[in-house]
Amino acid sequence: MKRKYLLTAILIALSGMIYSQSFPQVLTMPKISPKAEVMQRIGLTDIKIEYHRPGVKGRLIWGGLVPYGIVWRVGANENTTISFTDDVKLNGNFLPAGIYGLHMIPDRDEWLVIFSKVNTAWGSFFYDEKDDALRIKVQPIETEFIERLCFRFEDLTDNSAHICMHWEKIKVPFTVEIDVNKTVIQSFRKELVSILGFYWYSFYEAANYCYHNDINLEEALEWTEQSIKREKNFYNLTLKAQLIQKLSQTENADDIMQEALDIATENELNQFGQQLLSEDDIDKAIEIFKLNVQRNPHSWLGYYNLGEAYLTKGDKQTAQQFLEKALEKAPMNEKDKIRSTLQSTKQ
């Protein structure tokens, strides 16, 4: 009887082994090192890092679980990857747009960060230096303890950020820089031959961006002409005049500006005057607001804007005259704002 039970136990054990070896795991199970991703847009460029987050779990990490001087997968499981939708500079080194396998070689004082053209491998087990797209040297920084490895974007600016790998008490940062204006112009060129190219405001927006950032002005003027062909209006005529002035071209910018003013609405004149004020062109703003008052003598807003412009110039007496006219004509819900501005003329 005992031999029968023993034989049964052995058969059950063997059947379990055969089952485990014959059938793959098909159910979704939690991973010891959970998957994560982090993404940051700089300008129009998307940067994404996909990785797995191992925990410290009381272990010696640097020089222990992660040996010094050996290529490390920067996480767990399959490749940690980093992708850039446009060309970038990493610590000043050029790297084309693409998806890269991210590896590191840690050491006590200096780390190597490696961007591999192979991004589908399992960890760093199949890493080959011949596939390197870029290597950069970085300095590790001692910092506060963190249990699970993570990546963060820090010190974000309009065209750069620090990408930081942080685990245990070590942070490894490197800088990514984007030529934002270049990527924006490239994007404009693609979009302007899409369905957006049928609309005047698409070309206007592209040219206006160039004007205000003082870049690509010759092409911006061409885009303005395309905008005018689709629909001539105050905005694109004004922009054309401004671009001609900035480019110092022989074409008469004053005539084009006058054409724009001739067709301008009250709201457009107010907006243009406010733009000039924001650019500290106070005298020109006053001219525009005066024109608006002449054309729209019953509008309180024209008088108010003119008064504010004189106040900005420091002419409180003239400002008071126009603000008082604005107060007479304004609806009840605007009078408190005008009274508050009037107080400034008496200080």
On whether both 188 and 231 belong to a single domain, the answer is yes
State the total domains in the chain. Answer: 3
Please give the structure tokens belonging to residue 295: 């054309």
Together in a domain, 112 and 70: yes
Q: How far apart are CA 231 and CA 205, in angstroms?
A: 14
**Cβ atoms of 323 and 303 closer than 8 Å:** yes
Residue 164 lies in a domain: yes
| Per-state percent for the chain, helix, strand, coil, to nearest 5 | 45, 25, 30
319 assigned to some structural domain:
yes
159 and 187 both lie in a single domain:
no
Confidence at residue 25, expressed as pLDDT on a 0 to 100 scale: 63
pLDDT value at position 15?
A: 47
Question: Which pTM value belongs to this model?
Answer: 0.81
> Domain of 301: which CATH number?
1.25.40.10
Q: Provide the pLDDT for residue 9.
A: 41
Confidence (pLDDT) at 24: 64
Mark which of 178, 200, 229 sits at the end of a domain.
178
| Domain final position from 124, 146, 178 | 178
On whether both 242 and 203 belong to a single domain, the answer is yes
196 and 86 share a domain? no
Q: What is the extent of the structural domain holding 67?
A: 35-178
Tell me: do 210 and 315 sit in the same domain: no
Task: Determine, yes or no, domain membership for 193.
Answer: yes
Same domain, 197 and 156: no
**Structure confidence at residue 249 (pLDDT):** 82
| pLDDT score recorded for residue 244 | 96
Pick the last residue of a domain from 137, 159, 178: 178
Q: Do 64 and 129 share a domain, yes or no?
A: yes
Q: Is residue 307 part of a domain?
A: yes
- What pLDDT is attached to residue 347? 76
Q: What Rg value do the Cα atoms of the chain yield, rounded?
A: 33
In a domain, 1, yes or no: no
Pair 235, 273 in one domain: no
Asked, for residue 216, whether it belongs to a domain, the answer is yes
Do 230 and 299 fall into the same domain?
Answer: no
What does the alpha-carbon distance between residue 269 and residue 263 come to, in Å, rounded to a whole number? 10
- Predicted confidence pLDDT, tens digits, the chain (347 residues): 445 444 444 444 444 444 445 556 678 888 899 999 999 999 999 999 999 999 999 999 999 999 999 999 999 998 999 999 999 999 999 999 999 999 999 999 999 999 999 999 888 899 999 999 999 999 999 999 999 999 999 999 999 999 999 999 999 999 999 999 999 999 999 999 999 999 999 999 999 999 999 999 999 999 999 999 999 999 999 999 999 999 988 779 999 999 999 999 999 999 999 999 999 999 999 999 999 999 999 999 999 999 999 999 999 999 999 999 999 999 999 999 999 999 988 87
DSSP 15-62: HHHHHHHHS---S----SS-EEEEEEEETTEEEEEEEE--B-TT--TB
Quote the pLDDT of residue 75.
94
